[in-house]
Structure 1
Amino acid sequence: MTDPRTMNTQMAARILGSPADPVPEAGYALRVVRTRGRRSGEPRDTPIGVTRLHDRHYLVSPDTGRDWVRNLAAAPECTVLAGGESRPCTAVPAAGEEAASVVSTYLNAVTVPWALRAFPVAPDAPVEEIAAHLGSIAVFRLEDRS
Structure 2
Amino acid sequence: MPATPVAPAASTAAHVVPPGWFTVRVVNRFVAWLTRRGISVWGSRILAVRGRRSGEWRRTPVNVLTLDGTRYLVAPRGHVQWTRNMRAAGGGQLLLGKRAETFTVEELPDDEKPAVLRAYLRRWKAEVGLFFPGVGPDSSDEELRAVADRHPVFRITSGE
Structure 1 residue 123 displacement after superposition? 3.1
Q: Distance in 1 between matches of 2:80 and 2:54?
A: 16
Partner residue of 1:81?
A: 95
Tell me the matched-pair count. Answer: 139
Q: Among the aligned pairs, what percent are the same residue?
A: 31
Partner residue of 2:129?
A: 116
- 2:38 is aligned with 1:18: yes
Amino acid aligned to 2:31: M
Specify every segment of 5 or more residues in structure 2 that has no aligned partner in the other structure, as ranges.
1-20
- Give the alignment's TM-score, normalised by structure 1: 0.82
| CA RMSD after TM alignment | 2.3
Structure 1 stretch displaced more, 6-15 or 36-45:
6-15
Aligned pairs (5 A) from 1:1-146: 2=22, 4=24, 7-20=27-40, 29-113=43-127, 115-120=128-133, 121-145=135-159
Structure 1 residue 75 displacement after superposition? 1.2
Deviations 1:12-31 (A, max 9, x none): 2211203447xxxxxx6111
Larger relative contact order, structure 1 or 2 (CA cutoff 8 Å, min sep 6): 2
Q: Which has the higher strand share?
A: 1
Structure 1 stretch displaced more, 132-141 or 117-126:
117-126
Specify every segment of 5 or more residues in structure 1 that has no aligned partner in the other structure, as ranges.
22-27
